[in-house]
């Protein structure tokens, strides 16, 4: 069996096996089986690093391994599913594995003592499995199935503390907002399938190149696919669910905002970029640009530390979507990877600060002060120096300060926007959105 297929199968199925063990017998295992989920996700991390190292040692920009099997066959058509392993797949698998591993480990102390501790780890494993399915899919069939599983598992995690009305409502809002986008996503997929007769990426890309679907129909299919990304990546007007997703445990917030759910929409648009028509790309650019600027203006008015990070995520996702619309899809993917790292770090830092604030306020007997209000924080450098410096570095990166990673990706995105303006002699509003959001983020 091909080594890539072996590694891919393990990366895909290990979190699912961990989910099955946790959901059925987790409570009867030592430590409620947290080590099962952590072991599975760490194994996927090691395998992802191995794939990434192999890619670097023998780099080939055209590397592609496609593994398919027949899922359903009738007299009229055949539906195949499988895995597509190429360079962006390997990079994205590593991003998901890193952030998911960190969330699993961070949860050891953060969720300690929770009455549904084993179920929490089961949901984390299901989330990781679902996201890996989106990354590895070689057809819209597996992509859509994994897409819906991500929506389900995010609902379970956001509303994990469902005893609180706010958490239960946040979970329902996320689920319903994503269903609206998924209707468009489903229609877009079916338009492509009707015209080309296959769900496979290879067949659809070849069919579009051969002119089997053109003009208005291709634009409508592209808009349908983009509606799915609007829901998952929380773009205007379906952005409403993401700020409320803060009701879930902080490690879940890091997972959702950094590497899984919100990144899924951007990753999918990068994957299907070859079949997006020029009209679709312009719509994508303006919605992404507006979301980036709009969310940044809201972020600077918030005082809740997790709300600030939530709207910051909205803004950065808008940047990525705008970059895809301008044609700079490589810059968008670059920013996705960089953003996953510094945003996850900021959420872990925020969780650490909130945890420390709760502990301090409890010792003081103060039950009125809001532990998440930044106006109540200050002087934490001496108490939490590691957290302080970690958040400083990540803040400089997200602000796009030179010598930090965010500078490189944001510069590439703005350069792509400027190139579009120079090429067309129009769309100056996109420049305003891009540079305006950059200034507000730095502020």
More confident residue, 396 or 61: 396
**Do the Cβ atoms of 417 and 431 come closer than 8 Å?**
yes
CA 228 vs CA 167, 234, 267, 311: distances in Å: 24, 10, 12, 20
- pLDDT at residue 412 tops 70: yes
In the prediction, which pLDDT does 126 show? Answer: 92
- pLDDT at residue 314 tops 60: yes
Q: How far apart are CA 296 and CA 180, in angstroms?
A: 24
Model's pTM, two decimal places? 0.88
The per-residue pLDDT for range 91-113, each reduced to its tens digit, is 999 999 998 898 888 888 878 77
Helices 117-136, 140-158: axis angle to 10 degrees equals: 160
Residue 396's pLDDT band, with cuts at 50, 70 and 90, is confident
Phi first, then psi, for residue 217 (nearest 5°) are: -65, -40
The per-residue pLDDT for range 61-78, each reduced to its tens digit, is 778 888 888 777 776 777
Cross-strand partners of 123: none
Cross-strand partners of 72: 79
**Do the Cβ atoms of 47 and 13 come closer than 8 Å?**
no
The per-residue pLDDT for range 124-176, each reduced to its tens digit, is 899 999 999 999 998 899 999 999 998 888 888 888 878 888 888 888 888 88
- pLDDT at residue 439 tops 90: no
- pLDDT at residue 332 tops 80: yes
In the prediction, which pLDDT does 255 show? Answer: 77
SS3 track for the chain? CCHHHHHHHHHHHHHHHHHHHHHHHHHHCHHHHHHHHHHHHHHHHHHHHHHHHHHHHCCCCCCEEEEEEEEEECCCCEEEEEEEEEHHHHHHHHHHHHHHHHHHHHHHHHCCCCCCHHHHHHHHHHHHHHHHHHHHECEHHHHHHHHHHHHHHHHHHHCCCCCCHHHHHHHHHHHHHHHHHHHHHHHHHHHHHHHHCCCEHHHHHHHHHCCCCCHHHHHHHHHHHHHHHHHHCCCCCCCCHHHHHHHCCHHHHHHHHHHCHHHHHHHHHHHCHHHCCHHHHHHHHHHHHHHHHHHHHHHCCCCEHHHHHHHHHHHHHHHHHHHHHCCCHHHHHHHHHHHHHHHHHHHHHHHHHHHHHHHHHHHHCCCCCCCCEHHHCCCCCCCCHHHHHHHHHHHHHHCCCCCCHHHHHHHHHHHHHHHHHHHHCCCHHHHHHHHHHHHHHHC
Q: How far apart are CA 88 and CA 55, in angstroms?
A: 10
In the prediction, which pLDDT does 257 show? Answer: 67
In the prediction, which pLDDT does 221 show? Answer: 92
Q: How far is CA 305 from the centre of its chain?
A: 20
End-to-end CA distance of the chain: 53
């Amino acid at each position: 069996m091909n080594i890539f297929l072996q590694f891919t199968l393990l990366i895909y199925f290990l979190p699912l096996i961990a989910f099955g063990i946790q959901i059925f017998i987790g409570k009867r295992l030592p430590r409620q089986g947290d080590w099962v989920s952590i072991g599975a996700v760490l194994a996927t991390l090691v395998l992802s690093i191995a794939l990434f190292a192999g890619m670097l040692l023998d780099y080939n920009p055209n590397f592609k391994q496609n593994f398919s099997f027949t899922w359903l066959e009738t007299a009229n058509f055949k539906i195949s599913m499988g895995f597509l392993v190429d360079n962006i797949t390997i990079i994205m698998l590593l991003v998901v594995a890193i952030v998911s591993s960190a969330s699993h480990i961070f949860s050891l102390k953060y969720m300690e003592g929770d009455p549904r501790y084993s179920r929490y780890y089961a949901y984390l494993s299901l989330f990781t499995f679902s996201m890996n399915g989106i990354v590895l899919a070689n057809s819209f069939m597996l992509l859509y199935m994994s897409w819906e599983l991500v929506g389900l598992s995010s609902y379970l995690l956001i509303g994990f503390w469902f005893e609180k009305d706010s958490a239960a409502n946040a979970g329902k809002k996320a689920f319903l907002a994503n269903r609206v986008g998924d209707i468009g996503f489903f229609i877009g997929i079916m338009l492509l399938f009707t015209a080309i007769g296959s769900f496979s990426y290879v067949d659809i890309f070849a069919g579009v190149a051969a002119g089997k679907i053109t003009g208005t129909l291709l634009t409508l299919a592209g808009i349908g696919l983009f509606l799915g990304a609007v829901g998952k990546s929380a773009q205007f007007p379906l952005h409403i669910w993401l700020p409320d997703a803060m009701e879930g445990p902080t490690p879940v917030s890091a997972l959702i905002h950094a590497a899984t759910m919100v990144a899924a929409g951007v990753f999918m648009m990068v994957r299907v970029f070859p079949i997006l028509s020029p009209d679709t790309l312009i719509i994508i650019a303006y919605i992404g640009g507006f979301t980036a600027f709009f969310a940044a203006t809201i972020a600077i008015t918030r005082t809740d530390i997790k709300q600030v990070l939530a709207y910051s995520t909205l803004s950065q996702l808008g940047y990525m979507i705008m970059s895809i619309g301008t044609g700079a899809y490589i810059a968008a993917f670059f920013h996705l990877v960089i953003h996953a790292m510094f945003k996850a770090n900021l959420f872990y830092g925020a969780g650490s600060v909130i945890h420390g604030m709760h502990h301090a306020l409890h010792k003081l007997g103060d039950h009125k002060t809001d532990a998440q209000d930044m106006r109540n924080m200050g002087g934490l450098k001496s108490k939490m120096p590691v957290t302080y410096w970690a958040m400083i570095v990540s803040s400089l990166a997200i602000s796009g300060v030179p010598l930090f990673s965010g500078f490189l990706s944001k510069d590439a995105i703005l350069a792509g926007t400027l190139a579009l303006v120079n090429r067309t002699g129009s769309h100056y509003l996109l420049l305003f959105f891009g540079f305006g959001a950059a200034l507000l983020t730095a502020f």
